[in-house]
């Protein structure tokens, strides 16, 4: 498949993600205005910082007049899970993929983009992820701008209801694979159970959501690698 075909395929996969992002980003735009950030600046932040939790934290710290060092430290913690996602995606790329393309791929990674990219069979073309990112980040940026300009006019109930759409979209990413693969289905259930446990477990619940996600990702991935390793011949195929 040509790079252009991969790019178009990725754009199609990014449409439902963009719709979910648009709805969620409205609330982000509202929080930006509450922090005293202009609408254009908020939209630019969404364009350059592909992380919902990271942006919420940033806007909250800006509103609290936190120092630059505090802002940088919290952004690193909140977004550190993308290091793991980028490392996992790099294993799906052709060995000949250039360093520049790998770095650009790392910039595009979000939870949802990672999900649809990992679901691609065989080697992943970085152009698929690029295409998904272009569409998805357009929805994210547009939603932030819309929320910053019009969010204060919308009823709170409407904004909250729109935010639920992203969860439905994310579920649609892994359900088809879970229906085909029993191991994936079991992992999904285990992930749900452990995530709920981490939310209420003493000490662990005090950690940031980003750190909890990293711990869960490492533990579950390590467990699966030990219990259900991919054989060498299956990987080559």
Residue pLDDT tens, the chain, 237 long: 889 999 999 999 999 899 888 888 888 888 888 888 999 999 999 998 878 778 888 888 888 888 888 888 878 877 888 888 898 899 899 989 999 999 999 999 998 899 899 888 889 999 999 999 999 999 999 999 998 888 667 676 766 666 666 566 567 667 877 888 888 888 889 988 998 998 888 888 888 766 787 788 788 878 887 887 766 555 555
CB of 147 closer than 8 Å to CB of 27: yes
Q: How many Å apart are CA 108 and CA 129, to the nearest integer?
A: 7
User: pLDDT (tens digit, 9 = 90+) per residue, 144-161?
Assistant: 999 888 866 767 676 666
Tell me the torsion sign for CA atoms 166, 5, 121, 111: negative
- Angle (nearest 5°) at CA 54 between 69 and 208: 85
CA distances to 16, 17, 155 from 140, in Å: 12, 9, 20
At 121 the pLDDT is: 85
- Angle (nearest 5°) at CA 107 between 79 and 175: 75
- Angle (nearest 5°) at CA 171 between 166 and 175: 160
């Amino acid at each position: 498949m040509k790079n252009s075909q991969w790019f178009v395929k990725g754009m199609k996969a990014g449409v439902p993600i963009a719709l979910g992002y648009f709805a969620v980003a409205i609330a982000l735009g509202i929080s930006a205005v509450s922090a005293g950030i202009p609408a254009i600046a908020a939209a630019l932040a969404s364009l350059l910082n592909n992380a919902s939790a990271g942006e919420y934290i940033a806007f909250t710290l800006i509103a609290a007049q936190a120092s630059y060092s505090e802002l940088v430290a919290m952004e690193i913690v909140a977004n550190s899970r993308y290091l793991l996602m980028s490392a996992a995606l790099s294993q799906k790329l052709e060995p000949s993929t250039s360093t520049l393309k790998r770095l650009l791929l790392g910039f595009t990674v979000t939870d949802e983009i990672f999900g649809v990219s990992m679901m691609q069979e065989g080697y992943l073309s970085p152009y698929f992820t690029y295409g998904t990112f272009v569409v998805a980040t357009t929805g994210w940026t547009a939603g932030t701008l819309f929320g910053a300009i019009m969010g204060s006019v919308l009823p709170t109930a409407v904004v909250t209801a729109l935010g639920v759409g992203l969860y439905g979209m994310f579920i649609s990413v892994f359900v088809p694979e879970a229906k085909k693969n029993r191991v994936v289905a079991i992992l999904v259930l285990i992930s749900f159970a452990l995530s709920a446990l981490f939310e209420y477990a003493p000490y662990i619940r005090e950690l940031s959501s980003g750190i909890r996600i990293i711990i869960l990702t490492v533990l579950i991935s390590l467990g699966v690698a030990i219990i259900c390793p991919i054989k060498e011949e299956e990987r080559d195929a």
